[in-house]
Chains A and B, each alone.
Chain A
Amino acid sequence: MGTTNKALEKKINKKISKSVTSDFQIGDNFCIDIKELDSIFTALKEKSFDLIGPTVKEQTIAFDQIESVKDLPEGYTDEQSPGIYRVKKTDSKTLFNFTTGSNSLKKYLYPPHHTLWTASRNKGNFTVKENIPNLKPLAIIGLRACDLKAMFVQDRVLTQGEYKDSYYQLRRNSLFIVAVNCSRSVSTCFCTSMGSGPSVTNDFDLALTELITNTTHKFRLEVGSDKGLDVVKNLKFKAATNKELNDAKEVIKKTTNSITRQLDLHHLDVILKGSHDHKIWDEIGKECLNCGNCTMACPTCFCHTLEDTTDLTGSTAQRTRRWDSCFTIEFSYLHGGSVRTSSGARYRHWMTHKLATWIEQFDMSGCVGCGRCITWCPVGIDITEVAQTLRQTVLDEAHAVAWEEI
């Protein structure tokens, strides 16, 4: 095996020294052009980061490995509504004029397939060897506020409980984040309701706001951490002017105002937990295909299964961790049958977890308002609409009771 993870981490930490000696500090704002943006990418690569950024892939915008700004989806924009996703190429020179793509950071920090160990057998006996992957540190480019919040949620679930996910922790420790403030929204976005967007406020190393006019193309660059400072300190960027800072603020304000979808959180957890008998679950159960798309696309869903397999000779075996979905009937299987046999009960379980029981478990919501579950549901089931229906029922019932009491 090549470099061990520990050695790698050390290497990164040395390169990104914690004590930065320059006049720059966290919270500083610069204004850079595309070339200068590319110089950040180069600096990151020199520090041995693999760059992951938005790319156009199979008619969607998805995170993948990139090398330079040339690989970013120039001029691309997206349209999303329940069950519908489309990318569109425009003549514009924008690099980040779209929203969340089909995948999220989850794929990198918490991979869909991961071999945990292999075992080899000699007659009735066997030995087990842990799989220690040789990981290169990642720099994620163009991470949006909702996905950043989702990472924060996964941090809580996977690294701050009684038991921790070490693969995630390792990836996370060496992650460099270049976030981007959204300059547009789509109809499925509801980050404003969840307090997670559209602008990034913390947990990033660098953050960009794209500023484009007919004649200029610039980015406001905000430094969010020592790591971020270390990357830009030698790059001699110009400080952002007041006008540029204001322009960036305007971009965010415009985006915030464009978001119309809402999820009313007031007592929503109580409403959900009290609605397990609601007829809506049966109705959704009839529509839902149990495809699990919503759970795969969700940046916070963490359920997985463990698969044991052997090679053809039966002498070596493997355990693989694989993303799983609570929408499958096997998920809750016990000898004699599954606990959640109906499709409606499985949707109820998922939604109640996201918006109610998650809060009891982790002191935060399991939903960040990215809207992916709405967009990527082939039949367009809309979590915000379901929540509103449940709320309306409670209101109607309360209303009826109030009338009876008069």
Chain B
Amino acid sequence: METTIEHNCEQVVNNNHTMTPTIYRVEKNRRDTHDTFTLHLSPEDQPLETVYEPGQFNMLYAFGVGEVPISISGDTTEWPKLVHTIRAVGSVTNALQSLATGDSIGVRGPYGKPWPVEATKGKDIILVAGGIGLAPLRPAIYQILHNRESYGKVILLYGSRRPLDILFRKELEKWRSRLDMFVDVTVDSSDRNWNGNVGVVPRLIDTANFDPIDTAAFVCGPEVMMRFTAMALNKRGVSSDNIYVSLERNMKCGVGLCGHCQMSNQFICKDGPVYTYSQVRETVLIREI
């Protein structure tokens, strides 16, 4: 079917279309875990105008239901195709979960500041993810592995609640079998089939092998998890300037105009969501900021 998005750039003085979704088609909706799924999308007509980078997000629109911020979880070299991994938690994410191959989805983006994958070349890289937080980190992992020789040690530490919540399990196993990457996984509570670590993910940092002076850490997960992870990294000697976290707030516009994502003087949608821990360490500790 034809798209009839009318950008009318001539009539409208500037980029009003930042508020109008671009139509993508669902190529595949794959179930990852009991509550998480991955959408593979391709543009129906024109793709998003800007090339996206690891750590950026899009606003995904389910017809009539609403729009939510979701990080890009696929390989950014596959532009203009898009991959998003989503946990179904409420009205919009549930509607997205029920999309079938061929269905339309609205996309606005890409928004936000990316993980500094380029700028950290030459360093040891430690990626720490909690739960669905692995999804926004996956594009960074792909990009680092594409340029594997440009980095020192590469370590991925992942924590999930239970073994059945583990995201991208096959891929984790594949990465784990590589000789140029260290991967470790932990769960908060185990079951009979679990042979691995039990405990929270910051604990894995104490024993990981990296050069604290020359390491960049990319951390993504619930805010408390990121705080404890940053503390553990600090304890190992990694400076807060080299720890990157991705913050989450309510987002309606994604472009710094609606005020919903504001934290102190930051519009997290456009100034973040990726920050160095030193930029946000004090602020995130303030109650109800």
Q: Is B248 on the interface with A (CB-CB < 8 A)?
A: yes
- Which of B72-80, B177-185, B204-212, B281-289 forms part of the interface with chain A? B281-289
Q: Pick the interface stretch among B59-67, B159-167, B189-197.
A: B59-67
Query: Main SS of chain A's interface residues?
Result: mixed
Q: Report B50 CB to chain A, min CB distance, Å.
A: 12
Complex-state Cα separation, A85 to B249, whole angstroms:
37
Q: Digit string of B269-289 for contact with A (CB within 8 Å is 1, else 0)?
A: 010000000000000001111
Q: Is A93 an interface residue (CB 8 A)?
A: no
Residues of A close to B1: CB separation below 8 A:
122, 125, 127
Spell out A's residues near B (CB within 8 Å): 4-6, 116-117, 119, 121-122, 124-130, 132, 157-158, 161-167, 169-170, 173, 273, 276-277, 302-306, 308-310, 314, 317, 319, 321, 324, 326, 331-335, 339-342, 345, 349, 352-353, 356-357, 360-361
Interface string of B225-264 (1 = CB under 8 A from A): 0000000000000000000000011101101111110111
A130 interface neighbour in B6, B89, B100, B287, Cβ under 8 Å: B6
Query: Pick the contact of B5 from A124, A127, A341 — CB < 8 Å?
Result: A127
Which of B5, B6, B253 is A306 in contact with, Cβ under 8 Å? B253
B4 x A127 contact (CB < 8 A): yes
- Of residues 108 through 152 on chain B, the ones whose CB sits less than 8 Å from some CB of chain A are none
Contacts of B64 in A (CB 8 A): 119, 121, 308-310, 314, 317
B171 within 8 A of A: no
Check if B23 is an interface residue, CB within 8 A of chain A: yes
The answer to whether B63 and A6 have CB atoms under 8 Å apart is no
Query: Would A335 and B288 be within 8 Å (CB), given that A127-B3, A158-B257 are in contact?
Result: no
- Closest Cβ of chain B to A53, distance in Å, is 26
A197 to chain B, nearest CB (A): 26
On chain A, the residues within 8 Å of B267 by CB distance are: 361
B250 and A339 contact, CB distance less than 8 A: yes
Using known A-B contacts A129-B6, A361-B265, determine if residue A6 contacts B257 with beta carbons closer than 8 Å.
no
Q: Are A324's CB and B10's CB within 8 A? A: no
Contact at A345–B287, with CB atoms within 8 Å?
yes
Q: Once the chains bind, are B288 and A305 in contact (CB under 8 Å)?
A: no
Q: When the two chains form their complex, are residues B63 and A306 in contact, meaning their CB atoms are under 8 A apart?
A: no
Instruction: Show 20 residue pairs from A and B whose CB-CB distance is below 8 angstroms, ordered by the A residue.
Output: A5-B11, A117-B20, A124-B103, A125-B102, A128-B20, A130-B7, A130-B8, A166-B14, A169-B14, A276-B287, A277-B287, A308-B61, A308-B66, A319-B67, A326-B262, A331-B260, A333-B250, A335-B90, A345-B289, A349-B288
Mark out the residues of chain B between 1 and 44 whose CB falls within 8 Å of any chain A CB in the assembled complex.
1-8, 10-21, 23
Known A-B contacts A122-B1, A163-B256, A308-B64; the reply to A6 vs B15 at CB < 8 A is no
